[in-house]
Amino acid sequence: MRSSRALVPTLKEVPADAAGPSTVFLLRGGFVRRVGAGIYSFLPLGVRVLRKVERIVREELDRAGALEVLLPALLPAEYFRETGRWDVFGDTLFRLHDRKGGDYHLGPTHEEIITDLVRREVRSYRDLPKNLYQIQTKFRDEPRPRGGLLRCREFSMKDAYSFDADEAGARQSYEAMRAAYVRVFDRLALDYRMVAADSGAMGGSGSAEFQVLVQTGEDVIAACSACSYAANLEVASTPPAPPPAAAGEVPPPERVLTPGKGSIEEVSALLGASPATFLKSLVYVAGEGLVLAVVRGDHEVNEIKLARALDVREVHLASAAEVERATGAPVGFAGPVGFRGRVVIDRDAAAVPSGITGANEVDVHLRNVVPGRDFEAPVAELRSVREGDPCPSCGAPLRLYRGIEAGHIFLLGTHYSAKMGATYLDERGEQHPLVMGCYGIGVSRLVATAVEQAHDEDGIRWPMSIAPYEVHLVQVGQEPEVVAAVAELEAALEAAGVELLVDDRDERPGVKFKDADLIGIPLRVTVGRKALEAGGVELKPRAERDPKRAERLPLAGAAAAIAARVAALRAGG
């Protein structure tokens, strides 16, 4: 493709609302344009990247035995009503009506639709297992679209659904998908972790997220510095801290005045005590009632773990008014001693030999509080892991990273099939619900994710596997011998099957080089009078920052050498 005929509208300046490197460079590089909040158009360059991601996903799913289908994006309400998700999805669902007033929505995910397809077409164990996937546009009215392409209201997603006769089969399907996902993410040249995740209210028995490690990620993941343990912070675990040295005989609790000092930081400064000796007490709304959750002063409550410990769906912090009603004191002075209501305590907090905590009285704290002696509470793991906490499987320090969830694999069990009557007959003619799994990859999100991970201050550095073109042939100058050399190279490279963008615009060299760096095609070949006089053309990988370190290739053998380099990079070199 020649730039003179292409549509690659690069920008010097960035739209003010662009957040994060992926949005900035995809907009500036002419890959995408914003149409509305969380809604983007893909321009020719962006489409090429998107298609390459799709191709890799297709190849690996096909290799794993999955079958591609295409389900509609426009859906009648009846399917989601059948599983109750018409209500559960709430405002996240884009709803619309047809001319007759019927309820419709745009598909945010397709479990119901695929389950309906399979319950009609699959009757016998002989038809199993099946794994069906599609690459489809999904619609979710996100409460807050953000991060450009990272969280959109319309986005492209690959979703696959497996159907098996039993748990063991489903587990096999799940493992096959896990392996396929590893291949996909490896081919995309992403730095990622497969992490244990919260399986949430879906009731699944297995779940893993593919988290791409980037600074701007929305999720926090904990990964072991030594072994392969990795988990979303929501579920990451660590063994109980070793109990501190015994404090000997602890005197009875003592009231201390802490006027106006409600935070751990303030009170620890006032009393000259370490935050680790505090019993931080937070009032949560859990289901119907209020619960006091106690963690060490230097720890943070993990709401997912708390909800699990209490066996409720979710918890949230109580309002200031609720706190005051529950404790009789303003926020900052809650404590487990004398608290009228349910209390739970984290393992590490329960091991504090002599703690400081709120007295449920304004401007008063208690010291010398001994869990178990001065109050009783069930002990559970309630806190989030911190950087450096020991790994639950090997004990080495955990490291914390930010990540973007780009893939999720999930064993669903019979959640949908049972509700929707998707059953098969076994060898003995008995009817059983199909055992399902679902597997998503955020295709358009991956485009942005790759940029988040592969860029420098000048622009994108695409990996060869998803670069919009493989070689950027930059013509410098309009001299006849330059034009001829470019044409010759172009023909030879295209004949060799190299995907080529030829910058033949009548622009100054600086403009072309800046654009080339911005667009980020992995290899740049410069043809100009200077280079020709010096005996050939220049080859420079995008990753090489110093233009002086470009390689000189004699024009005669240049095409073959460049094609060989492309082949090496395609192979992951």
Contacting positions for RNA (CB under 7 A): 10-17, 19, 28, 36-38, 92, 108-109, 138, 140, 142-147, 151, 157, 159, 200-202, 218, 303, 314, 316, 408, 438, 440, 458, 476-478, 506-511, 513-518, 526-532, 538, 540, 547, 550
Label each residue of 530-564 as H, E or C. Answer: HHHHCCCEEEEECCCCCHHHCEEECHHHHHHHHHH
- Give the number of other CB atoms < 10 A from CB of residue 326: 20
Q: Specify the residue, 213 or 409, whose C-beta has the smaller distance to RNA.
A: 409
Q: How far apart are CA 52 and CA 60, in angstroms?
A: 12
Distances (CA, A) of 381 to 198, 276, 335, 447: 15, 16, 18, 37
Q: Specify the residue, 153 or 365, whose C-beta has the smaller distance to RNA.
A: 153
- Give me the least distance between CB of 15 and RNA, in Å please: 4
Q: Specify the residue, 159 or 374, whose C-beta has the smaller distance to RNA.
A: 159
- Give me the least distance between CB of 258 and RNA, in Å please: 26
95 three-class SS: strand
- Cβ 519 vs Cβ 45: under 8 Å: yes
- Give me the least distance between CB of 143 and RNA, in Å please: 4
Q: Specify the residue, 152 or 223, whose C-beta has the smaller distance to RNA.
A: 152
- Cβ 512 vs Cβ 478: under 8 Å: no
Q: Specify the residue, 39 or 394, whose C-beta has the smaller distance to RNA.
A: 39
Q: Specify the residue, 55 or 508, whose C-beta has the smaller distance to RNA.
A: 508
Query: What six digits make up the tokens of 295?
Result: 């963690």
- Give me the least distance between CB of 531 and RNA, in Å please: 3
- Give me the least distance between CB of 335 and RNA, in Å please: 24
Backbone φ and ψ for 205, nearest 5 degrees, come out as -100, -5
What is the DSSP annotation of 414-439? Answer: THHHHHHT-EEE-TTS-EEEPEEEEE
Q: Specify the residue, 339 or 513, whose C-beta has the smaller distance to RNA.
A: 513
- Give me the least distance between CB of 321 and RNA, in Å please: 14
- Give me the least distance between CB of 423 and RNA, in Å please: 22
Q: Specify the residue, 366 or 446, whose C-beta has the smaller distance to RNA.
A: 446
Backbone φ and ψ for 369, nearest 5 degrees, come out as -90, 125
- Cβ 435 vs Cβ 457: under 8 Å: no
Q: In which residue are the tokens 């912070």 written?
A: 233
| Vertex 472 angle, CA 469 and 477, to 5° | 150
DSSP E strand boundaries for 200-251 = 206-213, 219-224, 230-232
- Give me the least distance between CB of 11 and RNA, in Å please: 6
- Give me the least distance between CB of 84 and RNA, in Å please: 11
Q: Specify the residue, 218 or 266, whose C-beta has the smaller distance to RNA.
A: 218
Residue 275, judged by CB atoms within 10 A of its CB (0-12, 13-18, 19+), counts as: middle
